[in-house]
Amino acid sequence: MIKIYHNPRCRKSREGLALVESSGKDFEIINYLEEVPSKDELRKVLEYLTLSPEQLVRKNEAIWKEKFKGENLSDDQIIDAMLEYPKLIERPIVIKGDKAVIGRPSKKIIELLK
């Protein structure tokens, strides 16, 4: 089953969801702002994305700039920051099997769903 970590207030996330819906495949929507993933789930997502925690952070968010920018944070500390402030997690994330993409640009989602 396909999973999409979705923020309904984000235009790119809505575009990604529309692509997943149009695929005709079964999928699950995870509104990660309300259903914050566990630390283990977030680690698994990072593994599927083949990214470091820092690469998944939305560094232009005010919370990042105010609380974390310029800090020398470990991967665990960055993951903890994303879990405490899920708005920091880049979106949308689409997972299919053991592969995942951040849907920016949205063509990455199209490739994953093939």
Query: Which tens digit of pLDDT belongs to each residue from 51-91?
Result: 999 999 999 999 999 999 999 999 999 999 999 999 999 99
Domains of the chain, with CATH numbers?
Answer: 2-113 (3.40.30.10)
pLDDT tens, position by position, 31-56: 999 999 999 999 999 999 999 999 99
Task: With beta carbons less than 8 A apart as the criterion, state whether 4 and 28 touch.
Answer: yes
pTM of the model: 0.94
Cβ neighbours around 77 below 10 Å, total: 13
- Is residue 10 flagged as an active site residue? yes
Catalytic residue of the set 10, 36, 83, 113? 10
